Structure 1
Amino acid sequence: MVIEYSGIVVRSVLTDKREKFYDSKGIGCYMFRMDAAEVVDATMHGSAARFINHSCEPNCYSRVIHVEGHKHIVIFALRRIHRGEELTYDYKFPIEEPAAKLPCNCGAKRCRRFLN
């Protein structure tokens, strides 16, 4: 285990509204979907895990785990991580229409070129 992705748990239906609010204030948006119903919004009250970037060849992975009836998002190491090495995981964004493709700039040798 490397770190927990923490923040405020909100219903999925509220994420678009929150994202528009953050955009209107010029605030970067940090959200992580736990499941179809809930999202962790780490934008204002989150752990440093919100700053972990995407990579198509990551050194970490994320899992939603259950502890005493509560869901938690945890980032785990895939391998030994060396001091000073950037932490990364695959965001696994859902596939969208070709016009909505999000370009990937991870720089990995086997980069998929898109986040979704």
Structure 2
Amino acid sequence: MSCEQREGGENSQNRKVTDFYPIRRSSRKSKTELKWEQKKLIDDLITNGIEEGMEVQHIEGKGRAVFATQCFQKGDYIVEYHGDLLQITDAKKREAEYAQNPATGCYMYYFQYLCKTYCVDATKETGRMGRLINHSKNGNCQTKLHDINGVPHLILVASRGIDKGEELLYDYGDRSKASIAAHPWLKY
């Protein structure tokens, strides 16, 4: 047998599969690609203030509430808790100002991000729905931090499957005696 035949030349009996079938690449995306695309989609929704799949309704004796107008799967992005992003010292000053007027509701959400304490102050009335989602210890949403270019954004994601027509709820996490005394509904 000649060298050419042994190395897979034209007369070789040992041909490669690719000699008969073209090379095909998978069109499936890697987990990294899928995560990047999902992050980019959420970045765009947050940046553009897009809030879909929800509507505000009035509930007698409760006030405004946000309801799903579509189904959400566990882990789906729901909405941003949108407001002014403050460092803790500025947030405490604002909170003291708000305390002077009992009619001002508390829409301040404190959180830790990269070893710093921040606050999203959503007290100012806007058309955004994240601030209107009510409390429940057994809510169907949960908060999550979402980074866009080093800036933290507080978002709500589905903690379980949510049906169309269901009220969106999350646990505010406030268990202080003073808060529960002022707002007994925090117990539930």
TM-score by length of 2: 0.48
Q: Distance in 1 between matches of 2:91 and 2:152?
A: 18
The number of residue pairs the alignment matches comes to 105
Equivalent residue number for residue 109 of structure 1: none
Contact 1:3 1:76 in 2 (8 A): yes
* 1:100 partnered with 2:178: yes
Unaligned runs of 5+ in 1: 107-112
Partner secondary structure for residue 37 of structure 1: strand
Deviation at 1:31, TM superposition (A): 0.9
- The answer for the alignment partner of 1:64 in structure 2 is 145
Aligned position for 1:2: 78
What SS does the aligned partner of 1:83 have?
A: coil
Instruction: Return the match for 1:20 from 96, 99, 121.
Output: 96
- CA–CA distance in structure 2, aligned partners of residues 86 and 60 of structure 1: 10
Q: Does 1:88 align with 2:166?
A: no
Q: Secondary structure at the match of 1:34?
A: strand
Higher helix share: 2
The secondary structure found in structure 1 opposite 2:152 is strand
Structure 2 gaps, min length 5: 1-76
Question: RMSD in angstroms over aligned alpha carbons?
Answer: 2.4
Partner of 1:38: 118
Deviation, structure 1 residue 4: 0.6
Instruction: Return the letter of the residue paired with 2:148.
Output: V
CA distance in 1, matches of 2:151, 2:96: 28
Measured in 1, the distance between the counterparts of 2:122 and 2:179 equals 24
What does residue 77 of structure 1 align with? 158
- Measure how far apart 1:81 and its partner are: 1.9
Higher RCO (CA < 8 A, seq sep 6+): 1
Shift of 1:45: 5.8
1:8–1:45 CA contact under 8 A, matched in 2: no
Structure whose alpha-carbon radius of gyration is higher:
2
What secondary structure sits across from 2:120 in the alignment? strand
1:16 Cα deviation after fit:
3.2
8 Å Cα contact 1:7/1:45 also seen in 2:
no
- Give 1:67 shift: 2.1
Aligned to 1:54: 135
| Partner SS, residue 71 of structure 1 | strand
Cα distance change of structure 1 residues 81 and 44 upon mapping to structure 2, 3 Å threshold: same
Question: What is the Cα deviation at residue 38 of structure 1?
Answer: 1.1
